[in-house]
Every structure is written in structure tokens, then in C-alpha cells.
């Protein structure tokens, strides 16, 4: 991003396994609690202790936690956050006109358009 003339303002981390907060000099660290990764670790043959430690590090470092379910929201409340609840789903009508929206003014100064994502949005958005 820096080479393209921009700054990283927000990093959204989803799986806690390999924390990246702080690596890009971002000003806002958001954790998207999309699953119970500690519970899933056992199913995947991964150490629950290791994933639990990574999750606690995310809990310590995240500025904001966004949860996709009330169950996960309660889990992150127990870890000291007041999660924003944003349930899974997509409003096709609401986002159907995105191609007609002008870029935000602070994005137009970049030499080229940049979008980085690690979610399923990569298959549906035009970056």
C-alpha cells in the first residue's frame, strides 16, 4: 500500500491463527469473529491451546470486534469486548449499484485502485 501512495487505515483479521495486527502500521484493528476457531481446532487436528493463545492475543490487540452471531458475541464479551453484531448474509438490492458509486476522495489520490480482502468478497467484488 505504501508503495502505491496510500496508508493502511484498517486491518480486519478473521482467523486468529496468524495475527497480523500492527504489521502494516494500521490505525484501526478489527477482528471479524466469524467462527469459534478454538472449538474448531480440535476438529482440524490443531492445538486448541495454540489457537486459544492466538485468540487471546487478538482479544488484547483488537480495537473492535465484529461478530457474525449472538453466540460468538457472548464469547467475545467474555474476552472483554463489546462486539458489533453483523450477521452473515448479503443484501443484493442494497449493493447492486456499487459500480455507480464514485470512489471516496481519500482513495482517488492513489495511482491505481487497490482492494485487499481475505473473505468471500474477493469472488464477488471488483477490486
Distance CA 37, CA 53 (A): 11
Distance CA 92, CA 85 (A): 19
- Percentages of the chain per state (helix, strand, coil), in multiples of 5: 35, 15, 55
Q: What is the value of pTM for the model shown?
A: 0.68
- pLDDT tens for residues 110-120? 665 555 554 44
Question: Residue 67 falls within a domain, yes or no?
Answer: yes
Question: Residue 124 falls within a domain, yes or no?
Answer: no
CB 70 within 8 A of CB 51: no
CB 60 within 8 A of CB 42: no
Domain that holds residue 77: 2-119
* Number of domains making up the chain: 1
- pLDDT tens for residues 36-90? 999 999 898 999 999 999 999 998 999 999 999 999 999 999 989 999 998 877 7
Question: Residue 71 falls within a domain, yes or no?
Answer: yes
Question: Residue 53 falls within a domain, yes or no?
Answer: yes
Amino acid at each position: 500500500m505504501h508503495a502505491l501512495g496510500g496508508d493502511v487505515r484498517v486491518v480486519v483479521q478473521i482467523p486468529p491463527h496468524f495475527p497480523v495486527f500492527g504489521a502494516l502500521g494500521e490505525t484501526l484493528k478489527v477482528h471479524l469473529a466469524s467462527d469459534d476457531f478454538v472449538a474448531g481446532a480440535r476438529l482440524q487436528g490443531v492445538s486448541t491451546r495454540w489457537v486459544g493463545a492466538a485468540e487471546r492475543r487478538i482479544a488484547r490487540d483488537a480495537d473492535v470486534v465484529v461478530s457474525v452471531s449472538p453466540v460468538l458475541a457472548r464469547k467475545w464479551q467474555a474476552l472483554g469486548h463489546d462486539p458489533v453484531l453483523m450477521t452473515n448474509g448479503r443484501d443484493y438490492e442494497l449493493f447492486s449499484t456499487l459500480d455507480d458509486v464514485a470512489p471516496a476522495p481519500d482513495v482517488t489520490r492513489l495511482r491505481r485502485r487497490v482492494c485487499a480482502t481475505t473473505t468471500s468478497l474477493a469472488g464477488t467484488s471488483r477490486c
